[in-house]
Copies of this chain bind each other. A is one copy, B any other.
Amino acid sequence: MKQGISTPTEADVAKRAGVSQSAVSRAFTPGASVSDRMRRKVLKAADELGYHPNLMARSLATSQSNIIGLAVSSLDNPFYAHVVQELSEQLRLTERHLLLFTAKSETEIDPALERVLSFQIDALILTATIASRALAEQCHRAGIPVVQINRETKLPRVSTIRGENVRASQRIADFLLAGGHKRFAYVGGTEGSSVGRERRDAFTKHLRKRGVKSVSVAYGDYTFEGAAAATRQLLGAAERPDAIFCASDYMAFATLDVVKREFGLSVPEDISVIGFDDVPQAGNPAYDLTTYSQPASSLAAAAIEIVNKSIANPRSRARHVEIPGELIIRGSARRPPL
């Protein structure tokens, strides 16, 4: 069953360098007490043999795997693809790497996520996925820090990172109001999602304070098709909205498509559409979407920082970070007169 070609081990390097196996280990351990001469001798032998330390063995010995679990629900949403990209890139020259898990459903018991625990991951980053209480508890029991991007939890041990949901929604409401809009609508993601609720409530509450009586609401489930359907529903109503705020750019793209092609409305003359995230495509001329940014690189950086701190100090408390963004004014929403 053994492979024909076996990888060299510390013992092999030790023999070739004429030193002890522990010396080899030290030569590869930053900060270990080895003489320069010894280290050079070892590294030379290692190089000649093409030796690479076996991280599985190391993690068995240290109980640190240098692996961070990353659970995503869908990479088809460009915002999350971009967040993952950022995480991976920022980790690139680091010891730690990402083990990918696709969490399809958001049910309580996800056997695939359970498997995470077997990999001895040092931390778990969840993005666009709800941490089940069970998972989070298991992680906590195993001393694994959990960081959630762009989702809330009530779980006490889970750190969270998110955009400026409330501030953004208020800013958007003000911008639309100043643009002279009268009939407002909101396209949410999943009806249950806490982040979505935060945006919706901030939006509607702020509008109400400014005298707007009602805001129509529909849910697009964060999917393209879902958002298209939600938009059709909103536009089919008696009181057709003249301003729609979508909880994500990805959904706003669908909304724009329906608004323009199916209903033949012109943007922003007949109706304004505003998104959330500022994904790279939002600036594409085909959409030219006004949106509120949620900088993926900052979200990723914050997640990594929390992970690093939690690993360094396993008993540190959960943290909750809000990453600032800004309104990115493009052509999909009427601008207020100066």
Using Cβ atoms and an 8 Å threshold, which residues of chain B touch A89?
A: 102, 104
- Beta-carbon nearest neighbor of A57 in chain B: B60
A268 CB within 8 Å of chain B: no
Copies in the complex: 2
Q: Are A82 and B75 in contact (CB under 8 A)?
A: yes
Q: How far is the CB of A126 from chain B (nearest CB, A)?
A: 15
Q: Which of A148-204 contact B (CB under 8 A)?
A: none
A186 to B100, CA, bound (A): 36
Q: Are A56 and B60 in contact (CB under 8 A)?
A: yes
Given A5-B141, A92-B112, A98-B99; A54-B118 close (CB under 8 Å) = yes
Binary B-proximity of A66-106 (CB < 8 A = 1, otherwise 0)? 01001010111010011011001100110001111110100
Q: How far is the CB of A317 from chain B (nearest CB, A)?
A: 15
- Beta-carbon nearest neighbor of A120 in chain B: B56
User: Which of B75, B254, B285 is A84 in contact with, Cβ under 8 Å?
Assistant: B75
Using Cβ atoms and an 8 Å threshold, which residues of chain B touch A50?
A: 138, 141
Q: How many residues on chain A are close to B (CB under 8 Å)? A: 67
Using Cβ atoms and an 8 Å threshold, which residues of chain B touch A65?
A: 56
Q: Which of A245-261 contact B (CB under 8 A)?
A: 253-254, 256-258, 260-261
A55 to B117, CA, bound (A): 9
A75 to B142, CA, bound (A): 31
A336 CB within 8 Å of chain B: no
Using Cβ atoms and an 8 Å threshold, which residues of chain B touch A2?
A: 63
Using Cβ atoms and an 8 Å threshold, which residues of chain B touch A57?
A: 60
User: Which of B7, B81, B142, B314 is A7 in contact with, Cβ under 8 Å?
Assistant: B142
Q: How far is the CB of A10 from chain B (nearest CB, A)?
A: 13
Using Cβ atoms and an 8 Å threshold, which residues of chain B touch A254?
A: 284
Q: Are B286 and A257 in contact (CB under 8 A)?
A: yes
Q: How far is the CB of A48 from chain B (nearest CB, A)?
A: 13
User: Which of B74, B88, B115, B138 is A100 in contact with, Cβ under 8 Å?
Assistant: B88
Given A55-B118, A253-B281, A253-B284, 12 further pairs, Cβ under 8 A = A4-B314, A52-B114, A54-B60, A57-B60, A70-B100, A76-B81, A76-B82, A76-B85, A88-B102, A89-B104, A97-B100, A98-B100
A-B contact pairs, 11 of them (CB 8 A): A55-B120, A57-B60, A72-B88, A74-B85, A76-B280, A97-B119, A224-B280, A253-B281, A253-B284, A257-B284, A260-B285
- Measured CB to CB, the residues of A under 8 A from B are 2-5, 7, 50, 52-57, 59-60, 63, 65, 67, 70, 72, 74-76, 78, 81-82, 84-85, 88-89, 92-93, 97-102, 104, 111-112, 114-115, 117-120, 138, 141-143, 224, 253-254, 256-258, 260-262, 280-281, 284-287, 314-315
